[in-house]
Chains A and B, each alone.
Chain A
Amino acid sequence: MKKLLSTTAFLGALALTAGSAEAANLQVNVGGFVDFQAGYTSDDQVAHDVLSSSNENQNKVNFSTDSEIHFTVEGTADNGLEYGAVIELEADVNNTDQAQNGGTNADKAYLFGQGGWGRVELGDNTDAAQALQVNSGTFASGTGGVNGDFYRYAFATSGAGGSGFLIRPELPLANSGNGSTFNEDATKITYYSPRIAGFQAGVSYIPNSGDTGTAAFSGSDFQNVIAGGVNFTTQYNQFAIKLAATGEHGDQKSDTTQDQHLSAWNAGGNVSFAGFTVGGSYGHVGEIAATNASGVGGAATVNTVNGAHYWDAGAGYAFGPWSASATYLESKVNPAGSDTRDNLFHNLVVGTDYKLAPGLVPYAEVSVYNFNGSGGDTTVTENKGTAVIVGTQLTF
């Protein structure tokens, strides 16, 4: 008892100073970016003046801007729950964001909550498969190499490389931009696990792959889509390794094509050593659809096909604020019908960027691409050529 007394007195003195308080710490941040690009296109389609009127000439020089304002609300509750919301508003003059936006005014809008148990996102944001995937675009310089902005300048509207080709190393949801069949920002619920021993898993549930924000009761999109994957990062001596496997699965709504589920997966990896990074990925899209973000201001298109697959590989080097990369993508899409030949697409992108100041990054990229139809697929238009992009991005 005596023993107890002295400690009690000591601790009592401590306890006197303490009380309890309920407090939250909420903060609202405004950020965003403005991106300006000048593109020069030299390809078969532009050279042949493919515009509808034969007495018009297509300009090889195009400018484009992409700008967004981001609001981020973040708070921490006393019990450790971190919560918040993100609204990414489009700030483009033409109200369409290079196929990243369907004419609406927000790119992303979602709530999140996170803690030691992981993170939950509710709303319109990137799905878990897209966020966890690893490919050559993960480290590419410029606009993102084969997963970058070349498609804005490769003359891809009016079917030239539009549908029937798979032009980016992405699964259908992510590849389609903001289409009505697949929308990369379709309303969803996503859960990410914390990273444990290098592993992080995530899964998204998307009730309707074309719905953003409202119930459209569309019959042409996919339902009950699950997109997710596992991502692994580790450091082995001087080598940094990133690996990921992601997939998507969803059901058709149409009675006539019920068997054509959305089924796609990819797997990829990166290895970095002393500033050098090499990596790539392989992806397979099942029988449903090849999807495609098409040219400037165009909407994504989806084609029913027998199947598609792609692989990409690249190498990059980063030295201080400067980085450069070369990435290559090759894809084959087997068109619908009995044609056994494939629509081939390949693209080599060499890019570089330089971080002039925090938030200010000028970049340049050259893309050499070839859209090569199967010969039997009359829905595609062949095209080959080069696009050069020079731009500056400012983030704040």
Chain B
Amino acid sequence: MRQIFALLALLAIASCSSNTATDSKNYPKSQSDMRKVKAGSLVSDEGKGFSIMGSKKDDAGKSSGIGVNSFLWRASLDTISFMPIVQADAFGGIILTDWYEDPAAQKTDLRERFKVNITILDDRLRADGIRVALFKQKYDAKAGWRDQVISKDSEREIENTILTRARELRVKQTGK
């Protein structure tokens, strides 16, 4: 319990607020406006005309090279760069790390190791576009490595760290 608390406290420094999943399209319009929306747009898939300022592509981190949001992808790799990565699939949006035991903690008699699975679910930079699964094992002299229960909050905090990093990357790239 204290571990979880410590984890949350630390990550709180880096935590960020989450995006709400609202969209102008969901709000009611007059019938004549809806007719225009239904007709679609000659120049845009989203029916909003063409952009004259602010490049949405850069902002959103959409990229034809990979199947998921590039900011989230790079931020995820950055955030867990200190851990060994077993698998990273940019098209499926999956990053799996190997078990990682902090060298500093190895000296103690209480040994534990972590593993992180990151799934990027969206090609947009949004809070619900990333899911983190965190695993922890503790070493038992008799039974070897044993799985430990870990709080969902810890996973949330890692997600927030990644989201903050993604936002930084976006700011760096787009200047806004």
- Which residues of A does B touch, CB under 8 Å? 2-15, 17-21, 23-33, 70, 72, 74, 76, 78-80, 82, 84, 112, 114-116, 119, 126, 128, 130-132, 137-138, 143-144, 147, 174, 184, 192, 194-195, 200, 202, 231, 355, 357-361, 393-396
Contact = CB atoms under 8 A, between A and B. Distances in A.
Contacts of A174: 30
A29 B108 contact: no
B117 interface: no
B66 interface: no
Interface in B97-122: 100, 102, 104-105, 108-112, 114
B63 to A, nearest CB: 16
Interface string B5-43: 011001101101111111010111111111110011111
Given A17-B165, A144-B32, A192 B27 contact: yes
A97 B80 CA distance: 59
A358 B42 contact: yes
12 contacts: A4-B3, A6-B105, A6-B111, A10-B102, A14-B11, A15-B13, A25-B176, A27-B54, A80-B20, A126-B30, A131-B28, A138-B34
A8 B42 contact: no
A26 B54 contact: yes
Contact of B176 (A20, A24, A119, A194): A24
Interface of B: 2-3, 6-7, 10-11, 13-14, 16-22, 24, 26-36, 39-45, 47-56, 59, 78-82, 100, 102, 104-105, 108-112, 114, 157-158, 161, 164-165, 167-168, 170-171, 174, 176
A130 B34 CA distance: 12
A29 B22 contact: no
Contact of A357 (B31, B42, B108): B42
A80 B164 contact: no
Contacts of A119: 22, 27
A14 B161 contact: yes
B105 A79 contact: no
A358 B40 CA distance: 5
Given A4-B2, A395-B42, 7 more contacts: A14-B79, A23-B176, A33-B36, A78-B16, A131-B28, A138-B31, A192-B28
In this complex, the member of A4, A31, A128, A192 whose beta carbon has the largest number of chain B beta carbons within 10 angstroms is A31
A200 B33 CA distance: 18
Contacts of B108: 2, 5-6
B40 A359 contact: yes
B102 A9 contact: yes
A3 B110 contact: yes
B40 A395 contact: yes
Given A11-B7, A396-B41, A115 B14 contact: no
Contact of A80 (B6, B19, B53, B171): B19
B158 A14 contact: yes
Contacts of A17: 78-79, 81, 161, 165
A126 B11 contact: no
Given A17-B165, A144-B31, A395-B39, A12 B10 contact: yes
Given A15-B13, A27-B53, A394 B3 contact: no
A5 B105 contact: yes
B111 to A, nearest CB: 8
B20 to A, nearest CB: 4
A9 B10 CA distance: 10
B174 to A, nearest CB: 8
A144 B39 CA distance: 13
A1 to B, nearest CB: 9
Contacts of B45: 358
B168 to A, nearest CB: 5
A359 B105 contact: no
Contacts of A29: 44, 48-52
A15 B33 CA distance: 47
B123 to A, nearest CB: 15
A34 to B, nearest CB: 10
A70 B49 contact: yes
A31 B43 CA distance: 9
B51 A28 contact: yes
Contacts of A21: 164, 167-168, 171
Q: Which of A5, A25, A137, A192 has the most CB of B within 10 A?
A: A25
A18 B49 contact: no
Contacts of A8: 6, 10
B31 A359 contact: no
A300 to B, nearest CB: 15
A18 B162 CA distance: 7
A72 B109 CA distance: 61
A18 B39 CA distance: 44
B49 A72 contact: yes
Contacts of B171: 21, 23
A23 B17 CA distance: 12
B6 A358 contact: no
Given A76-B19, A144-B31, A396 B167 contact: no
